[in-house]
């Protein structure tokens, strides 16, 4: 806060005040398809699911343990397409466990849906923003993710989410009989004379 009071900004190098949030002139802009979800760190996943699917009116759309990230997570969907990701630590050394130790339960991230997480990372790096991972990692339900360092994103942990490709629908092959039998065909009399 002292740096902000003295007129210094925490913007990354290369971004001017007029560019903050709008990209850097001459560089590609990030293509955001939608806000994918808001992440909330919670100490008890089951209690948080009960709150968000009970009085808050959401529905559980996905639940999994992500060993790589050290979290148990649940996606809660709401009418209109809004989603909340509930994140509880599955081990004490996870980023979510550290977040809860430092800040307690609460908003942990804002996630943007992008068509290509690697292209998004390239655009942001070229604008001088730091990402947490050199390469995308596996996220919820097979998505690919990366994060913008909070110090470069106004104090917010910004997640980039490239959803997993939808599985191809199963196509059933109809059973075709190759057995040939006999058929009787009858036709009505056809008159070729003009009436």
In a domain, 79, yes or no: yes
CB atoms within 10 A of CB 147: 19
In a domain, 135, yes or no: yes
CATH of the domain at 141: 3.10.180.10
In a domain, 85, yes or no: yes
In a domain, 115, yes or no: yes
What pLDDT was estimated at residue 186?
52
Q: Which domain holds residue 57?
A: 27-162
What pLDDT was estimated at residue 6?
38
What pLDDT was estimated at residue 11?
43
What pLDDT was estimated at residue 167?
72
Q: Could you give the number of structural domains in the chain?
A: 1
Strand (E) positions, 33-98? 34-41, 59-66, 71-77, 83-89
Q: Give CA–CA dist 61/63, Å, rounded.
A: 7
In a domain, 141, yes or no: yes
In a domain, 47, yes or no: yes
In a domain, 95, yes or no: yes
Edge to edge, what strands does the sheet with 144-148 contain? 59-66, 71-77, 83-89, 34-41, 106-113, 158-162, 144-148, 137-138
What pLDDT was estimated at residue 171?
65
Per-residue model confidence as pLDDT tens for the chain (195 residues):
444 433 334 444 444 434 334 445 556 788 999 999 999 999 999 999 999 999 999 999 999 999 999 999 999 999 999 999 999 999 999 999 999 999 999 999 999 999 999 999 999 999 999 999 999 999 999 999 999 999 999 999 999 999 998 776 666 655 555 566 665 555 555 555 554
Look up the pTM and report it: 0.71
In a domain, 14, yes or no: no
The end-to-end CA distance of the chain, in Å, is 99
User: Cβ(114)–Cβ(32) under 8 Å?
Assistant: yes
What pLDDT was estimated at residue 166?
77
At residue 143's C-alpha, the angle toward residues 92 and 134, to 5°, is: 70
Tokens 């655009």 sit at which residue? 123
Identify the helix (H) or strand (E) that includes residue 117.
helix 117-126
Q: Give CA–CA dist 35/159, Å, rounded.
A: 10
Identify the helix (H) or strand (E) that includes residue 51.
helix 45-53
Q: What is the pLDDT of residues 39-57, one digit of tens each?
A: 999 999 999 999 999 999 9
């Amino acid at each position: 806060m002292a740096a902000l009071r003295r007129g210094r900004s925490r913007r990354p190098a290369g971004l001017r005040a007029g560019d903050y949030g709008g990209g850097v002139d001459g560089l590609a802009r990030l293509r955001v398809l939608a806000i994918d979800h808001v992440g909330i760190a919670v100490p008890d996943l089951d209690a948080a699911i009960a709150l968000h699917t009970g009085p808050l009116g959401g529905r559980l759309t996905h639940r999994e343990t992500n060993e790589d990230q050290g979290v148990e997570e649940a996606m809660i969907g709401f009418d209109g397409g809004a989603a909340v990701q509930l994140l509880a630590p599955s081990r004490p050394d996870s980023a979510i466990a550290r977040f809860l130790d430092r800040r307690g339960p609460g908003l942990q991230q804002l996630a943007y849906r992008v068509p290509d997480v690697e292209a998004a990372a390239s655009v942001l790096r070229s604008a001088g923003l730091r990402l947490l991972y050199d390469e995308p990692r596996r996220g919820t339900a097979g998505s690919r993710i990366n994060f913008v360092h909070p110090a470069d994103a106004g104090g917010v942990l910004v997640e980039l989410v490239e959803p997993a490709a939808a599985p191809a629908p199963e196509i059933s092959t109809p059973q075709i009989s190759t057995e040939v039998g006999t058929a009787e065909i009858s036709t009505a009399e056809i008159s070729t004379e003009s009436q």
